[in-house]
């Protein structure tokens, strides 16, 4: 993975920006992902949380085994 990738983006009149495709691919940003926007030391930082929570459909029964599997997958994902 590249150490530093920079891109210029324009803020629309609705204060929206588009994250360039190259950065979306590197960071694996998908539609529906939630990003964190922080202001720190005079800079705006946009970051992707390390772990994604699994999407579970309403009304679906989940077992203890499902929960344990979700926990295990999250631990593996955080470990890298």
Domain count, the chain: 2
DSSP letters for 20-75 = -HHHHHHHT--TT---EEEEETTEEEEE--S-PPPP--TT----HHHHHHHHHHHH
CATH number at residue 18: 2.10.260.10
Distance CA 38, CA 11 (A): 17
pLDDT of residue 80: 55
pLDDT of residue 2: 56
Spell out the per-residue pLDDT of the chain, length 80, in tens. Answer: 557 888 999 999 999 999 999 999 998 898 888 888 999 999 999 988 766 566 777 888 888 998 888 888 777 776 65
**Both tokens assigned to 7:** 């891109």
Distance CA 26, CA 14 (A): 26
For residue 5, what are the domain limits? 1-49
- 37 and 61 in a common domain: no
- 66 and 78 in a common domain: yes
């Amino acid at each position: 993975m590249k150490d530093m990738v920079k891109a210029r983006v324009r803020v629309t009149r609705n204060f929206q920006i588009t994250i360039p495709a190259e950065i979306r691919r590197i960071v694996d940003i998908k539609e529906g992902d939630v990003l964190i926007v922080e202001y720190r030391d005079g800079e705006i930082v946009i970051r992707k949380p390390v772990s994604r929570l699994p999407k579970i459909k309403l009304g679906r029964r989940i077992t203890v085994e499902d929960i344990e599997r979700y926990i295990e997958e999250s631990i593996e994902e955080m470990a890298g």
